[in-house]
Structure 1
């Protein structure tokens, strides 16, 4: 009979002459001030922060029967001017109103306006300190960069093709375009725009940029065209300003993009290249076809072919590269005469969601990035395909591209911008190689979150960066057992958990003023690793996480949809975990307060269950409640691993006495021996003299 059943039976028989070690009297809550005691302050109570379920978003965390989202299609024609260092473009936007509401205007995101010296982001930058680095001094000595859009035309287009200048209102990084007639549910509106902007240098504001390398200029072009804002069932119009920190919230749609560049340039982009015969040589096309049959990278443009006449189609004048993409939420591209280009093919097992089709894997980089990039980039991209495909869903797009340039780490559908390059003499450290592996996995991994599971990054950084960092951790461990991952292990977040300046993870992105990386990336990743490995277990967590990922593919989940989906899929009410880890800045501090034992026969009159009865008093000295793991060492040096569920804290959130029978005296106890629960004070985790041998589960 278990101890629980034995205690129940004794209680019914009236044979418990002595009160149990844990009081069954007044409830002991962590938040137990006199005022708080008048309301339910249990950490285990339902999560009141969740919005009510409705027909759009169900209580299970799944999209509801009346879930809807808008769709926006683009046809774009753009030209790269390498003399003026500018992009000039024209776009035709077809906006599909799938909402139940009638819209009288459309909002657009003009992210390039962040580079206008008078932008709100620049005007709200704090003053410089009393000393500046030489690099900062050089940057300030230069003329201020005159970035931002010049909008030369904004017109609406009627069903009959009549174009009319649109009334528009510019508000820094968002633009309102009034419609000539209200847009009813189920109808479409067409808007055309012409625009121009200067390409910033050196990753200004962390996004698209140009850089001059040894062989010439390279261009990473992103957030480069006016993009329709999202109108949804949660925000109405999501028009939060782009201040550089909160990233993007975008609509899915189809793209047809033509890019005119100098003839000597190589281009790659979101989507499928539709005119390879016009922009690639016959040799390059043949090499690419062969490369896609193997996971070992093959050069499409070899290092010794960069900027040679034979590497480009014969003729003079610029070339236009045309790409199309279906069901993507953004479009980015790169262009340069300096690129080395390698490629490989990757297949999931036949019978999966992709039915064994080839995913094209491309890497583009200047010769300055060799020998590191040719060794790592394509292989790390393939690793991402494997791990993320196993843990979330198989990669749904036809290709993935990784490009080296001035932007160290940024992501767009099917294309990633990554940094880390060797020294000028071609040497690099193990740390530099690991940096490239990690940033590649992370940025390519963003194809899953948020490019497919398209959360609102402008508000909730953790829903893409944190979830992606969680998956990155496992991809790194798949790459190499014991890989020194920065984010994921609970022990790596302990310092931040002690930081009095931290704010809850559930803080809008633009309002996180300190430790942005720890808040949006590291803490959510560590929490999800903890949830998987220590709270739920791999099988329960994986099934629930995959359910969330797959039910929200090509849709717009909100935080409540994530929390509810994991509760639903795991069969657990995890309110205590979401409340503690995501909605508060509480820490975990479990302590071994005391260990006592007595002869078993003095308690139950027999030694049949063991010679000793041991009581371990555990205290919860901070704000989180979590399961308990402890290693118990016995007199003969043997060690037993004890795992207790979070429910031990339900009667008393501050103190629990664990009792068990044993044949030997206990000589040592260690709580959280694997450092898997981010305990902020390990000085109270140990009692006695614990052994170091491996425990018996």
Structure 2
């Protein structure tokens, strides 16, 4: 979903996925570089330690056959479905859980996740209503008419708010399937007034509706190896956890409506005019968008409301959901796109009312085509036959179809902000075909796994659309304002969807920015892209969890990124690295090295300073025979020395001369005399470790750049120093010159007054030949002092 500011930020953070367990929180190198370890779930036969699906991986499946009837006069949708559910799990199932998402629009059947409210500064008469206690039924939500097995026998069921449990007549075992039927209806809400993802929008000027039919049928919940039934209530925030399957859907609508949906239209020859059908066939080989339903045809249809009916038929294979749209207002254009990676022939399409014509006709279908081709480069080849964008004044995604905004002024003009916003939302929502429609994460639990990953690839796609495109999410500097908020207003990315306060920055921007930092600054594009593509390939058409992503990125890159996941995803610390001090020293090349004399005494016997209980018991145990007591060959000098059988003068002093350095020859001084040492002291004020990226500017105007990996902080997470040697004078030092790390305070990132040298460091030449012996040992060995070799 494209996050919009009108969505309320609600819920108090109640907990996160796992605690960031501090191994040694008071140490200056206590935790940031430790492995995630037990924070991640234990690998098993279903999910491996490498992040790949295991040899025992499984997932269940659900196939749907649905008939829908759209009553435009009553704004009611009536449906009947036959569901075939396949139990591929190793578990016996005694009941099934389904989602009734439309119940969230009901005043009495909704999830009941209350949020606090305060007296507003201003409101409207529509919202100023007397509090109804208890709440009256507003007439929305799912009305279940019949629930039966395949033979028509009633099934026992219970509805709990937005969830429905069907009790099975007998246990559903591994490898078995169960077929059941549901008839239902619901009143379609005005989504412009009531909010939500599906509903109708009324155009007062011409009296027509535009319907977006989403979350519209009872849908199977996911049953998985990591959670069992994912039957968390639908509150309107955390999106969907869904099962793959095949769909055959018929939609009975007014005859002048144009319908688009997930999947492929199977009876266009029956529902389109001959001219429209000819244009459809032309579009299937066109590299430019062809209007199948023209603007003139759409305008004419608006003026006459047909009382006749038509039935549209669509089929979709291996999808996790099904959505559709219907209106007589639609212009429809399409073109063919070829995906190079798999040579897939895709119909890129757009449907839009006349109010969006000047924008959508020019940009929408082209943006759809660009998106599926670019995402295919970075993830997996787009596998479906259709990808389409519907203008519906919102932003929401479903397999092969999404709903976006982008309308012009009445005179057909538009602002640059609307244009770029429209292109951005189309890329984002079409991109959701990959996350989560193909790489099928649990959105109800982890919003970031679809929104964050998708926003990241959206940024890459926007960049390839236009290098001047004003992307709002992805570049490191765009997350700074969020990262610098007081910590009581922040929560980790690894927070349940329902409990996030700053939903847009947390679920979209911060994970997208983190991935961009990994790609551009930490790993490099080639290494990152390969690992990211590996994750997409491994988990295409499967149900990944966060650990699968973290482990795959580590596994496929040979980069130990646990420090990054720990800090960026599990923590709330910001990046704030400071240059605290610059110290300059010059070389002393004229000093004569001194011969050093080191005095030693003889090592004392290596006796135990305490006879522990094990040694005492072993010594007194007559059944134990010690090896060295039995084998005389092992009784060397030190065996005897340790027992007082060898005598050594341990008071005698021994002297060792160390003379391995010499003065710098005159011939080499000219190369060294202008080298200066620059020690730069840094502190980690923010807490989140990051690479140290420096730009050096010299007095002659030249520049050099250097980057130290984040591991430079591994032994001291708070303060570090690094010394550089240059043969020309520095003028200034800039930390993070390209603003790559999301540093929240750039005022401490520049050092512009380089001091004169305040000290000297001695420089000698290493003598050629063997290094002095004995210096590392510290003492003359007793065997040598005693003049013995055994």
Q: Structure 2 length as normaliser, TM-score?
A: 0.79
Post-superposition offset of 1:652? 1.5
| Residue 6 (structure 1) aligns with | none
Q: Distance in 1 between matches of 2:261 and 2:569?
A: 36
C-alpha distance 308-642 of structure 1, shift in aligned 2 (>3 A): same
For the pair 1:580 / 2:567, whether they are aligned, the reply is: yes
For the pair 1:54 / 2:47, whether they are aligned, the reply is: no
Superposed CA offset, 1:332-360 (max 9, x none) = 000011101111111123xx32xx23210
Q: How many residues align?
A: 648
Q: Distance in 2 between matches of 1:146 and 1:202?
A: 15
The answer to which of 225-234 and 315-324 deviates more is: 315-324
1:194 alignment partner, one of 162, 183, 189? 183
Superposed CA offset, 1:514-534 (max 9, x none) = 210000000000100001000
| Residue 490 (structure 2) aligns with | 502
Q: Distance in 1 between matches of 2:128 and 2:75?
A: 21
Superposed CA offset, 1:271-315 (max 9, x none) = 011111111122112212212323321111111111647999xx9
**Rg comparison, structure with higher value:** 2
| Residue 443 (structure 1) aligns with | 429
Mapped contact 1:601–1:607 kept (Cα < 8 A): no
Post-superposition offset of 1:73? 0.4
For the pair 1:328 / 2:319, whether they are aligned, the reply is: yes
Q: Distance in 1 between matches of 2:457 and 2:104?
A: 31
Mapped contact 1:255–1:324 kept (Cα < 8 A): yes
Mapped contact 1:115–1:146 kept (Cα < 8 A): no
Post-superposition offset of 1:419? 1.2
Mapped contact 1:301–1:311 kept (Cα < 8 A): no
Aligned with 1:368: secondary structure?
helix
Mapped contact 1:490–1:529 kept (Cα < 8 A): yes
Q: Distance in 2 between matches of 1:600 and 1:255?
A: 78
Where in structure 2 are the equivalents of 1:120-199 lying within 5 Å?
Answer: 120-121=110-111, 124-127=114-117, 129-134=119-124, 137=127, 145-157=138-150, 162-199=151-188
Post-superposition offset of 1:145? 4.6
Post-superposition offset of 1:125? 4.1
Post-superposition offset of 1:130? 3.5
Q: How well do the aligned residues superpose, as a CA RMSD in angstroms?
A: 2.4
| Residue 613 (structure 2) aligns with | none
Aligned with 1:164: secondary structure?
coil
| Residue 19 (structure 1) aligns with | none
Where in structure 2 are the equivalents of 1:116-515 lying within 5 Å?
Answer: 116-121=106-111, 124-127=114-117, 129-134=119-124, 137=127, 145-157=138-150, 162-203=151-192, 204-213=194-203, 214-215=205-206, 216-306=208-298, 308=300, 317-349=308-340, 352-353=341-342, 356-406=343-393, 408-500=394-486, 501-512=489-500, 514-515=501-502
For the pair 1:619 / 2:605, whether they are aligned, the reply is: no
Mapped contact 2:261–2:322 kept (Cα < 8 A): yes
Q: Distance in 1 between matches of 2:144 and 2:549?
A: 39
Q: Distance in 1 between matches of 2:446 and 2:21?
A: 31
The answer to which of 196-205 and 87-96 deviates more is: 196-205
| Residue 27 (structure 1) aligns with | none
The answer to which of 276-285 and 394-403 deviates more is: 276-285
Q: Distance in 1 between matches of 2:228 and 2:547?
A: 17
Q: Distance in 2 between matches of 1:568 and 1:60?
A: 6
Q: Structure 1 length as normaliser, TM-score?
A: 0.89
Mapped contact 1:156–1:192 kept (Cα < 8 A): yes
| Residue 702 (structure 2) aligns with | 638
Superposed CA offset, 1:211-261 (max 9, x none) = 112441110000000000000001100111000110000000000101100
Mapped contact 1:281–1:311 kept (Cα < 8 A): no
Post-superposition offset of 1:166? 1.0
Structure 2, gaps ≥5 residues long: 1-19, 592-662, 755-790
The answer to which of 454-463 and 118-127 deviates more is: 118-127
Q: Distance in 2 between matches of 1:483 and 1:678?
A: 20
Superposed CA offset, 1:10-46 (max 9, x none) = xxxxxxxxxxxxxxxxxxxxx9999734898321111
| Residue 642 (structure 2) aligns with | none
Aligned with 2:556: secondary structure?
helix
Q: Distance in 1 between matches of 2:282 and 2:125?
A: 45
Q: Distance in 2 between matches of 1:118 and 1:552?
A: 38
Superposed CA offset, 1:308-332 (max 9, x none) = 47999xx973111011100000000
Q: Distance in 2 between matches of 1:310 and 1:126?
A: 43
Aligned with 1:615: secondary structure?
strand
C-alpha distance 607-92 of structure 1, shift in aligned 2 (>3 A): farther
Structure 1, gaps ≥5 residues long: 1-30, 691-697
